[in-house]
Amino acid sequence: NRTSVSVLGLGLMGQALAATFLKAGRATTVWNRSADKADRLVADGAVLAGTPADAVAASDLVVVCLSTYDVVHEVIGPLGDALHGKTVVNLTSGSSEQARDTAEWARKNGAAYLDGAIMATPPGIGAETSVLFYAGDEAVFDAHEPVLRLLGGGTTYLGTDHGKPALFDVSLLGLMWGALNSFLHGVAIVETGGVKAREFVPWAHMWLDAIKIFTADYAAQIDAGDGEFPANDARLETHLGALRHLLEESEALGVDTALPEYSRKLMEGVIAQGHARNSYASVITAYRRPAR
């Protein structure tokens, strides 16, 4: 059972994971609370385990993808000794603290543990471009990388801190929602000028590419850690002036103003702290937790 894999949890994501292992010719054992979700996989050659313990016994590598960490502990928590010597790879979404606590729990039970985060939807599992993050012991990751890489060509090891995939996961999702909300707000504005969303898209893409360059420059300023945010491109007070046009235009057009209002308060607060002539990177000071 060194080359086999067991998958616990056959929701939308778990089914995609198990199907990908099967397609690659890996002996795959599956378990799910509602056994009927295994029907298709069993027809394709998977072995259905009657209990989580049977599934864990079948393979050295156990991939877990359940709705929450509470469910993970409910399902594998009682297994105790059966986990000894196994490698558990947990792809369930949760907090960094839950990931670190679960790693500690696994260590006490003699199991190797990788925590992961999936930056893809089920149809993207197995694709060359799909990114999955992992953290934990490097030797454990190296040992299982070939099989984990089947799930996505962008498989990436982030280091030994088990909480890191969860931190990356929510941060990237936050980036997505921030960008999508801004895109949709922009569409609502240009629509008032008779512009179709499709016409706006290439310009949104052009601007997202520019934002990539801004973020790289700002990251360097932030990481320098000297509290200096030189305005090589534009001052925060200049940003605020431009932001006011967005706010006023939104108001005049009757388009929702919550998003630009939020940005206005954010920038004004940072300017009040003395950053008017600094770059936009100085806004990081509003987001950071106070030094402890």
- Contacts with ligand NDP, residue ranges (CB under 6 A): 9-14, 32-34, 37, 65-67, 71, 74-75, 92-93, 118, 121-122
Q: Is 45 left (phi over 0), alpha (psi -120 to 50) or beta?
A: left
Closer residue to ligand NDP in complex, CB, 2/129 = 129
Length of the chain: 292
**β 87-90/112-119 pair status:** parallel
Closer residue to ligand NDP in complex, CB, 169/243 = 169
Nearest-approach distance from CB 169 to ligand NDP, in angstroms: 8
* 13 CB-near residues (< 8 Å, 6+ apart): 65, 91, 118, 122, 125
Closer residue to ligand NDP in complex, CB, 77/233 = 77
Nearest-approach distance from CB 5 to ligand NDP, in angstroms: 16
Q: Which residue is nearest to ligand NDP (CB)?
A: 11
Helix runs in 24-121, H state only: 39-43, 52-58, 69-76, 96-108
Nearest-approach distance from CB 118 to ligand NDP, in angstroms: 4
SS3 breakdown of the chain: % helix, strand, coil, rounded to 5? 60, 10, 30
**Residue 98: CA count within 13 A, CB half-sphere:** 17
Closer residue to ligand NDP in complex, CB, 176/242 = 176
Q: Using alpha carbons only, what angle is made at residue 170 by residues 56 and 259, rounded to the nearest 5 degrees? A: 155
Closer residue to ligand NDP in complex, CB, 32/87 = 32
Closer residue to ligand NDP in complex, CB, 85/123 = 123
Nearest-approach distance from CB 44 to ligand NDP, in angstroms: 18
Which tokens sit at 170?
A: 């929510």
**β 5-8/28-31 pair status:** parallel
Decide if 79 contacts 57 (C-beta within 8 A): no
Nearest-approach distance from CB 75 to ligand NDP, in angstroms: 5
Helix runs in 130-163, H state only: 138-149
Q: Which of 122, 147, 284 is nearest to 134 (CA)?
A: 147
What amino acid occupies position 276?
A: A
Closer residue to ligand NDP in complex, CB, 33/264 = 33
Q: Which of 157, 63, 171, 178 is nearest to 111 (CA)?
A: 63
Nearest-approach distance from CB 117 to ligand NDP, in angstroms: 7
Nearest-approach distance from CB 92 to ligand NDP, in angstroms: 4
